Amino acid sequence: MEESEVMAKKQFKAESKRLLDLMINSIYTHKEIFLRELISNASDAEDKLAYKALTDDQVPVDRSQLKITIVPDKEKRTLTISDNGVGMTKEELENNLGTIAHSGSLQFKQEMDQEHKGEDIDVIGQFGVGFYSAFMVADAVTVISKAYGSDEAFMWQSDGADGYTITPCEKDAPGSDIIMHIKPNADEENYDQYLETYKLQELIKKYSDYIRYPIVMEVEDYRQKPKPEDAGDDYKPEWETVKEWKTINSMVPLWQRPKAKVTDEDYNNFYKEKFMDWQDPLAVIHTSAEGAVTYKALLYIPPKAPYDFYTREYQKGLQLYSSGVMIMDKCADLLPDCFRFVKGVVDSPDFSLNISREILQHDRQLKVIATALEKKIKSELLKMQKDDREKYEKFWKAFGTQIKYGVVADYGAKKELLQDLLLFWSSKESAYTTLAAYKDRMPEDQPYYYYACGQSVDKIAKLPQVERILDKGYEILYCTEDVDDFVMKALDEVDGKKFKSVADDDALPQTEEEKKEAEEKAEAGKPVLEAVKNVLGDQVKEVRISKILKSGACCLSADGPVSLEMERYMRKLEGGEHMKAQRVLELNADSAPYAALKKAVDSGDQATVEKYAKLLYGQALLLADLPLEDPAGYAELVCSLMV
């Protein structure tokens, strides 16, 4: 072959200029991805040689010697990525690098799948475009390659879309060297960073930490010099900068190891290093599945919520790997919102990636995995709840609110999944209880799960509405979070029992005699009720004789779908201040204050009626943890009783 023929520049196939421009400028979101792609290609080359050695006795390869070498050169502005894998012939250079979107890895995998059906043939590359990501950071790329078993080596060179040349060259050992001439810095692009060892180490750890072959690079280390033997007492330690070759990647990820060979310390250290926490996780979930979708997952329940957990800035998601190569840092689709606190990684060879390996083409596999992980997370939390109650309550204090939000979200779509995880404070146990434990303690005649809402357990316990329920010997769930009333209404019913607020008129079933007595009291109290309503006006929708008070003089309830608890909650939300409950002032006809009020009404003492009506309404607001509409006026009324 004549030298002129060899040296002639050849044009890329497949509309190269257009496709290459698209690939460089559009396909990849982040330029730093190039290093991941080139390392993955190098790993593929090592795999191919390793598979040859397994299937051919004439290929004596020591797998322990396979490695990927990274060499930055600031003076020449080159970054070299070398492997000692299978290498490429001239024809393969032509086919693999001269045709964009031709994947030698994909072809190899297909061939191996045919020859070795049923065996796990794992090769990272799928599309054949990753190599060209080098042009995002390089203005010229040289590939020197020597195929295993060949005496010839060839050099492929290109400065982009204008085409490429392939020329014979010298190379001692099989494998490939990819030499990138890094672009000069631009206005908004710092290309110098890709020549810095610290940046390269960072990118390797981020994207290629679990490539199965060592990724080695010469790095600088700052260390103390050995102390001279003749050094005196006044010797001061001396430090020096040394260069040494180091393996940058971890290679075998923790989740790929057998559980029996991973210690609790290993799990905890991985969590703290990977997810930047100084505390051990509350629980570890190490799981895998094979079948329609094959995956391995390593999940963690953190010990506490991050500072921004309940803000819009917080991003949920698990790290997503495909055959050990990180694809996404936070894949939100793998976690339901109710378990958004979970940290971890998922690794699967079955993901259908788009051409840049950055995002998924469709989410069928994700949905399958997400459903399985959802069940696994719940199972682990239930196990913690049963076996280590102290730890579970720690979890509940950190993430219980999120579980409750999960019950309410999407019109209660996840309530059956989450109801077993709920904890509420028990009036009977003076401790947290599950709904199942509450139900087990129910007397046979108890018609409902009872709950009461308020700002604290102590305040709820003193509410006049709870008295009649407790006197019956029934247990009450004390709900101290704003979302609790929404939770109870979303749950509605569990195991055939409905939830009922202690503030509901029908919380306790009435006999016919009791109903008749209540009607008589209401009828007899009409003049008093009308008088109070005239004083309060539009501040309340109604004034009524209470069916829920036993010894307390008054309380506030709501008529309609919006409860007082909902109103309190909505007040805290932007734009929610207009959602108000229709307030009802309830009066106890058997109380001494009611008797005094009735006396004033019967005697026509309007001034006293106004004073008592406002006092009772103010008391009801305070009991309901709602703000007084006229604090100064209320204070004057109270002080006037002292005169």
Residue 106's pLDDT is: 45
Lowest mean pLDDT among 59-68, 244-253, 496-505: 59-68
Question: How high is the pLDDT of residue 120?
Answer: 43
- What's residue 567's pLDDT? 79
- What is the Cα–Cα distance from 106 to 13, expressed in whole angstroms? 18
Nearest partner of 126 among 37, 249, 18, 27, judged by Cα: 37
pLDDT band at 642 (very low <50, low <70, confident <90, very high): confident
Mean pLDDT of 47-66: 78
- Tell me the residue length of the chain: 643
pTM for the model: 0.74
* Structural tokens at position 98: 């001269």
Contacts of residue 54, Cβ cutoff 8 Å, sequence gap at least 6: none
Q: What angle do CA 269, 273, 277 make, to 5 degrees?
A: 95
State residue 111's pLDDT score. 54
pLDDT confidence bin for 141, thresholds 50/70/90: very high
Mean pLDDT of all residues belonging to the chain: 85
Distance CA 284, CA 292 (A): 25
Contact 609, 600 (CB under 8 A): yes
Q: What band does 528 get if pLDDT is binned at 50, 70 and 90?
A: very high
Average pLDDT over residues 232-256: 84
92-101, 499-508, 512-521: which range is least confident on average?
Answer: 92-101
Instruction: Judge contact between 242 and 265, C-beta under 8 A.
Output: no
When mean pLDDT is compared over 156-160, 171-175, 254-258, the highest value belongs to 171-175
Q: How far is residue 596's CA from residue 588's CA, in Å, rounded to a whole number?
A: 12
The confidence score (pLDDT) of residue 64 equals 80
Question: Percent of the chain beyond pLDDT 70?
Answer: 87
CA–CA distance, 39 with 205 (Å, rounded to integer): 12
**Phi and psi at residue 93, to the nearest 5°:** -60, -45
d(CA 605, CA 6): 116
Give 420-471 pLDDT, tens digit per residue: 999 999 999 999 999 999 999 999 989 999 999 988 999 999 999 999 999 9
Structure tokens, 512: 């016919």
Rg (CA), the chain: 36
Compute the distance between CA of residue 44 and CA of residue 49 in angstroms, rounded to an integer.
9
What is the number of other CB atoms lying within 10 angstroms of the CB of residue 176? 24
- Amino acid making up residue 340: R
Lowest-confidence range among 511-520, 584-593, 609-618? 511-520
Sheet (strand 497-501) strand order: 432-433, 424-426, 476-479, 448-453, 497-501, 493-494
Taking the C-alpha atoms of residue 379 and residue 342, their distance in angstroms, rounded to an integer, is 14
